[in-house]
Amino acid sequence: MFTDSSFTFVLFGGTGDLSMRKILPALYEAHRAGMLAEGGKIVGVARHAEDRAGYIEWVNAHVKPYVSKNGLDETAWASFLERIQYVKLDLGKPEDFALLRDAVSELPGIRVFYLATGPSLFVPICHALAAVGLNTNSRIVLEKPLGYDLKSSNAINDAVGEIFAEEQIYRIDHYLGKEPVQNLLALRFGNALFEPLWRREWVESIQITIAEELGVEARGDFYDNTGALRDMVQNHLLQLLSIVAMEPPHSMDSDSVRDEKLRVLRALKPIDPRDIGKVAVRGQYHAGGIRGTSVPAYATEPGVKANTNTETFVALKVEIENWRWAGVPFFLRTGKRLADRVAEIVVNFRAVPHSALGPTALRPGANRLVIRLQPNETIRLYCLAKQPGEGMNLASVHLDLAFDQFFREGQMEAYQRLLLDVINGRLALFVRRDEQEAAWRWVEPILNEWAAANKPPKPYAAGTWGPAASSAMLAQHGTCWLEEEN
């Protein structure tokens, strides 16, 4: 994934949390691995540091803790800092963008503008870039959330689309850059073993979970106006669902892959408002304990309204109305302050139609595929085998692909892969506008029904796996969440 093309990477929100924790560490790792063109430059844009020396001091203090799992390479770090320039700019003053134009006008290659800012600033920044002629020979990266609902999302996309062509716009979803997500495509479309089984005749159900131990941290103001459905389901979970369920693309070029994902999103069965209580669970964490540490209730977090009805947990039963998946339930789940930090996809295959080996072979989940996205990226295939000894007693065994053990070279972090794709002009792992619209169109009726009902979310103690209603929803279909079975 080496790029030999010069580039100028302009980072708006250059002193923000995302820049410090993810973006600059990812660029450093690409630099250390020799994946960035020698002449490529990084321009931090912010208003906190006075000059380049002050910005470099800020980067040294705030980025170093997040780089290099195997230790910091001081020589590589020093040469990485040489790439960095800085422009002090007030985003609320369009006239300041002339300073940015002057700073980058002589720098080489394609310009990448990364908007690591709040979505309310996306449109003003784009207009200001266009006003000083910086919307040509450029690409723009938009962080989520892109809007609050379909209307606001369309408003942002319309405004940005007047300034940048669709092929210049990179809507980032970092889950699409994770190694196991890429391996899911390889697993499905590169192996004759799995593709014939990847359909309703052989799949009983599929679970997709993104669970977090953390609460809202310092994002209370933002999160209380967003909630788990907007923050995680509309983007991350529906994108993972579309990759799991998509048809084989004609090729791996950007539009072929995104066309197939779009077909899945458009095939999602609309949720009838009368069925919301049966197929959608929303919860909110109360005080509890995680790994022996007491944590407060969501309603007492800084920035959160005391009488808030914002959900911190969502579980959904989803159906896809097409020939491949008709009748197969997809269970989606995400939440904060849950018992563990985990992101995984669980494919439960149907039991054998008749067993001469006893009831073990007939139990749900006897054959399953578990794709772990975090924290340990693995693919595990469960099947049944005879236990040693007398009699035909079956036991569950598994085959493992642990990426860090099988491949000697280190795995590439999601942001590193995605940033290199932006620089190299590869769009396949970024969300196209029509995908985003289809996701909002499906999610919005749920949001509207919850708002109209004005009922508080179901409580769950921090450190658990969410409200009991989440488990009850799966029990109605004769199954359970993976951790409950174990």
Which residues are catalytically annotated?
236
Supply 403's token pair. 């990426």
Spatial distance between the Cα atoms of 481 and 205, rounded to a whole number of angstroms? 11
Contact 394, 384 (CB under 8 A): yes
Partners of 209 in the β-ladder? 333, 344
Asked if residue 174 belongs to a known ligand binding site, the reply is yes
90 is in an annotated binding site: yes
φ, ψ for residue 411, nearest 5 deg: -75, 150
Q: Is 231 flagged in the annotation as binding?
A: yes
CA–chain centroid gap for 344, Å, is 12
Q: Are 153 and 144 in contact (CB under 8 A)?
A: no
Q: State the alpha helices, DSSP H only, in 270-410.
A: 276-279, 403-406
Is 333 within any annotated ligand binding site? no
| Contact call for residues 12 and 125 (beta carbons, < 8 A) | yes
Strand, helix or coil at 465?
coil
344 is in an annotated binding site: no
C-alpha span between 275 and 196 (Å, rounded):
33
Q: What are phi and psi of 141, to 5 degrees?
A: -110, 125
47 is in an annotated binding site: yes
Q: Of the candidates 187, 248, 182, 207, which has an alpha carbon nearest to the alpha carbon of residue 368?
A: 207
Residues 6+ apart with CB under 8 A from 244: 184, 206, 208, 330, 345, 347
| Full 3-state SS string of 3-70 | CCCCEEEEEECCCCHHHHHHHHHHHHHHHHCCCCCCCCEEEEEECCCCCHHHHHHHHHHHCHHHCCCC
> Is 433 annotated as a binding-site member?
no
Q: Is 363 helix (H, G, I), strand (E, B) or coil?
A: coil
The Cα 55–Cα 53 span in angstroms is: 5
Which of 435, 367, 371 is CA-nearest to residue 398?
A: 367
Give the C-alpha separation, 33 to 207, whole Å. 36
- CA–CA dist 401, 414 (Å, integer): 19
Report the C-alpha gap between 293 and 273 in whole angstroms.
Answer: 39
Helix (H, G, I), strand (E, B) or coil at 226: coil
Burial level of 309, CB count in 10 A (0-12/13-18/19+)? Answer: middle
Structure tokens at 292: 């022996």
Identify the CA nearest to 61 among candidates 82, 77, 85. Answer: 77
- Which residues participate in the annotated binding site? 47, 90-91, 144, 174, 178, 212, 231, 336
Binding residues for substrate are 174, 178, 212, 231, 336
Q: Which residues are annotated as a binding site for NADP(+)?
A: 47, 90-91, 144
